[in-house]
Amino acid sequence: HVQLVESGGGSVQAGGSLRLSCSASGLTDDHYCMGWFRQAPGKEREGVAATNSAGSTNYADSVKGRFTISKDNAKNTLYLQMNSLKPEDTAMYYCAAVSSTGGVCPHLGRPWTYAYWGQGTQVTVS
């Protein structure tokens, strides 16, 4: 039984920083892609960043240079460090995971390909 639990969201002024955490349990091996997605009211869910078991990362153009995805395998925790936040970053942020074949992660533009999801954590930038 896979469980993903996000934390770290909150309200911050533009230009500020937040670090999101995603505690994972039930992932039976290391061959998973894990990612962060977000969804603003009235908008589709969009991919933010993803990482595979080897530590390779991929980012949406809108967050490159501002956000950093990382993983602590010993703690089974995924992170998203968000710097230089903008009001347009306001959204519910979700952690997701999917079994990876050959270390290739699904395209960030295809959130429906991720099998496991957390409940989300709200980020509000004003």
Whether pLDDT at 105 is above 80: yes
Task: Provide the pLDDT confidence category of residue 84 given band limits of 50, 70 and 90.
Answer: very high
pLDDT, residue 102, reads 78
SS3 89: helix
Instruction: Find the radius of gyration of the CA atoms of the chain.
Output: 13
* Each residue's pLDDT tens digit, 23-75: 999 987 678 999 999 999 999 999 999 999 888 999 999 999 999 999 998 89
pLDDT digits over 89-104, tens only? 999 999 999 998 777 8
* Pick from 27, 37, 44: nearest CA to 106: 37
